[in-house]
A and B are shown apart, each in its own frame.
Chain A
Amino acid sequence: MGNRCAVIGVGQTHYTTKRRDVSIAGLVREAAARALEDAGLAWKDIDAVVIGKAPDLFEGVMMPEAYLADALGAAGKPMMRVHTAGSVGGSTALVGASLVQGGVHDRVLVVAFEKQSESNATWALSTHLPFSASLVVGAGGYFAPHIREYMRRSGAPEHIGTLVAVKDRLNALKNPYAHLRIPGISRQMVESTPMLWEPIRYLETCPSSDGACAMVLSSEKAVTGTPAWVLGTAMRSEPIFRAGRDTVNPQGGKDCAADVYRQAGITDPRREIDVAEVYVPFSWYEPMWLENLGFAAEGEGWKLTESGATALDGDIPWNASGGVLSSNPIGASGLIRFAEAALQVRGMAGEHQVDGARRALGHAYGGGAQFFAMWMVGSDKP
């Protein structure tokens, strides 16, 4: 795993439907400046910048990293852009961490963003080439069949998705940065919303958000303030078109989790991990990823959700921040998971802090559930 690496600063913007008051540059700078402030550092203290975002068509800015160099104080420094679809926020953190773990740099600023209000993600994800049939379905339409298949295989009762939709929005009420803050959120409220891509209801899906998230990653000797130590990092991918690919429980996700647990010395994630921030853009992905990430046996994830184990007061809280279901600036969504995991083990998560969290998982997935990025962070130096 190389040299030790720690998160020493976290910065987020408030996530919202439309940030009309800032440019893209202003948005990323806001998050970056807050991360620097958290670390007690200035722009000059940063050695390199790694930036991530989802497809360029979302904002129509090609190679945004070139345009954003000034806003991120990158003049005269190495700057690179990462792109792994929806998992990009996680991958961005991992590329940044690798620069520290490899001994190349002492302090790396990682930033990810999306300003969804500049266009329409469904349009950007459905640019139909000639010769194919036009079946515009967007991300929800793409993942809905996988969810239906999960429900069939596991026999999970229909209300499980509703439980996650309510739980994550209750958590969001404790997170000042969360986009969707729905007072009085209830099962009845979720169940009264229409089916967008059956079996996914409106309130079982993530919002479209503008926002950015940033972290300062540091080598051991350059640590300032309260560190969250990186205990393990892993990325995996798999071909989207492969005969026999299990889209419900993808092999890439299982392999990625096994790798990151091995590095962090985790053998029983349910018992040994205190809190997890997992990329759940549609509520049913909580039980699906509970199984994929080894928190429950195959077909049993929904029982964990139903028992309340993943609630903020459960034994393994998932998405204490409100998760992707409450804030979804796509390119940043993965980085937010990683950053929230770090905030938890630093004891700096505020009202949604899980008491005594010492080990946390950050997770992101992207594309057709084919790209995975994960890290484990802890309060104790590895």
Chain B
Amino acid sequence: MPSDATAAGTTAAGAAAVPEGEARSLVAGHVLEFPGGYTRTTGPVIGRFLTELRDGRIVGVRTAGGRTLVPPLEYDPDTGEAVTGEFAEVGPAGTVESWSWVSEPRPAHPLERPFAWALIRLDGADTALVHAVDAGDARAMRQGLRVRPRWKAARTGHITDIESFVPEVTRIVSPVRTEYRVRPGKALARFLDGVARGVFIGCRCGSCGKVYVPYRLSCPECGVAITEEVEVPDTGTITTFAINNLPDPRAPEVPFVSAYILLDGSDIPMIALVGGVPAHEVRQGMRVRAVWVPEEERTASMSNIKWFAPTGEPDAEL
């Protein structure tokens, strides 16, 4: 028992003449290591297992009852009889039966990064083998996980000839990227011309009389071409809204209010950000005005509008 031996050694080292009581606080390091390591004979069964490991194969031994023990034992633990001497190659893949995550590996561990100790039942075996699984993350571990050995290049006939087991490939990453050159088109370009100057350009359908903002070239209701351009003010009414609490790196900081804003003189709401007011004070019917970024920062883009902020007028009837 190494720990008992260490304790005994420490007591002996601290047995010098020191005042009573002080000895209890003494600490000394101590190493117990047989020089060069113990030499151990393997016997024919374990020896065969290790010899096969050195060749990159894993074998088990058959019992008289027909079970395959991996790693092999010299005697059948169920019956006490000798095993048959018949060896069978198993694996190399296997299934994790149980596991425990090592988040801070120790120097003697097979891997320097976090890993799992797992009971792995290799294909064709009736018993499970303990080994390390290099899974990267504890969330990747589960009962039933399929794993395969990762062999060391230089093998000596030792269980560590298998550096660790690794999960089978069940997933690939498939990058998809398409690059576009986007032009706004005639209608949107016209609208953005206005936005660049701080005005909203819309249009009126000659057939149904509805005013659309942003500017467009045809009426979605009537299907006719629209020719009449109109400028609408940058004030309007919040018809309805959502308070967004789900953070997204591409979105404004949460909570943010995305609202349907019906600009005065327009017949269709636009979806825009509401600011300058706490999210929970936004109301349906609230009157708002666009807050434009300073002129020198403007581009032909909707980002010219910082957000819509309350005007302070009484709420509109919906």
Chain A residues with CB under 8 Å of chain B are: 20-21, 60, 122, 126, 128-138, 140-141, 144-146, 148-149, 152, 194-200, 239, 241-245
Cβ contact within 8 Å between B246 and A148: no
Cβ contact within 8 Å between B170 and A21: yes
Chain B residues with CB under 8 Å of chain A are: 170-171, 174, 176, 182, 184, 188, 192, 208, 210-212, 220-221, 239-246, 248, 250-252, 255, 258-260, 267-268, 271-273, 284, 300-303, 305, 318
Least CB distance, B179 to chain A, in whole angstroms? 12
Return the contact of B302 from the options A131, A138, A198, A241 (Cβ within 8 A).
A131
Cβ contact within 8 Å between A136 and B250: yes
- Given A20-B170, A137-B258, A241-B220, A130 contacting B301 (CB threshold 8 A): yes
Q: Which residue in chain A gives the minimum CB-CB distance to B304?
A: A133
> What does DSSP make chain B's interface, helix, strand, loop or mixed?
loop
A114 CA / B21 CA spacing, docked (Å): 72
A152 CA / B318 CA spacing, docked (Å): 10
Cβ contact within 8 Å between B243 and A145: no
A144 CA / B171 CA spacing, docked (Å): 35
11 A-B residue contacts at CB 8 Å?
A: A130-B182, A133-B303, A135-B252, A136-B248, A144-B243, A145-B240, A198-B242, A198-B243, A241-B268, A243-B268, A245-B268
Q: Which residue in chain B gives the minimum CB-CB distance to A132?
A: B302
A130 CA / B305 CA spacing, docked (Å): 15
A243: B residues at CB distance < 8 A: 208, 210-212, 221, 267-268
Q: Which residue in chain A gives the minimum CB-CB distance to B181?
A: A130
Cβ contact within 8 Å between B176 and A60: yes
- Given A135-B272, A241-B268, A243-B268, A195 contacting B245 (CB threshold 8 A): yes
- Given A129-B182, A195-B245, A135 contacting B240 (CB threshold 8 A): no
- Given A129-B182, A131-B184, A135-B252, A146 contacting B240 (CB threshold 8 A): yes
Cβ contact within 8 Å between A122 and B242: no
Return the contact of A135 from the options B184, B210, B243, B273 (Cβ within 8 A).
B273
A148 CA / B244 CA spacing, docked (Å): 13
> What does DSSP make chain A's interface, helix, strand, loop or mixed?
loop
A245 CA / B305 CA spacing, docked (Å): 25
A129: B residues at CB distance < 8 A: 182
Return the contact of A145 from the options B184, B255, B260 (Cβ within 8 A).
B260
A21: B residues at CB distance < 8 A: 170
Find the residue from B244, B260, B268, B303 having the highest chain A CB count within 10 A.
B244
Cβ contact within 8 Å between B221 and A149: no
A141: B residues at CB distance < 8 A: 242, 244, 246, 258
Least CB distance, B244 to chain A, in whole angstroms? 5
- Given A133-B272, A149-B284, A242-B220, A144 contacting B303 (CB threshold 8 A): no
- Given A126-B250, A134-B250, A197 contacting B243 (CB threshold 8 A): yes
B241: A residues at CB distance < 8 A: 145, 148
Q: Which residue in chain A gives the minimum CB-CB distance to B191?
A: A131
Cβ contact within 8 Å between B184 and A136: no
Q: Which residue in chain B gives the minimum CB-CB distance to A135?
A: B258
Q: Which residue in chain A gives the minimum CB-CB distance to B212?
A: A243
**11 extra interface residue pairs, beta carbon distance < 8 Å, beyond A128-B250, A135-B258:** A122-B248, A131-B182, A133-B273, A135-B272, A137-B244, A144-B242, A145-B240, A198-B244, A198-B255, A243-B211, A243-B268
Cβ contact within 8 Å between A145 and B259: yes
Least CB distance, A369 to chain B, in whole angstroms? 13
A14 CA / B105 CA spacing, docked (Å): 39
Least CB distance, A94 to chain B, in whole angstroms? 24
B210: A residues at CB distance < 8 A: 243-244
Cβ contact within 8 Å between B250 and A131: no
A126 CA / B249 CA spacing, docked (Å): 12
Cβ contact within 8 Å between A60 and B174: yes
Q: Which residue in chain B gives the minimum CB-CB distance to A129?
A: B182
Q: Which residue in chain B gives the minimum CB-CB distance to A244?
A: B267
A25 CA / B255 CA spacing, docked (Å): 40
A145 CA / B268 CA spacing, docked (Å): 15
A196: B residues at CB distance < 8 A: 244-246
Return the contact of A242 from the options B245, B268, B318 (Cβ within 8 A).
B268
Least CB distance, B63 to chain A, in whole angstroms? 33
Cβ contact within 8 Å between A148 and B258: no
B208: A residues at CB distance < 8 A: 243
Q: Which residue in chain B gives the minimum CB-CB distance to A238?
A: B220
Cβ contact within 8 Å between A197 and B246: yes
B171: A residues at CB distance < 8 A: 20
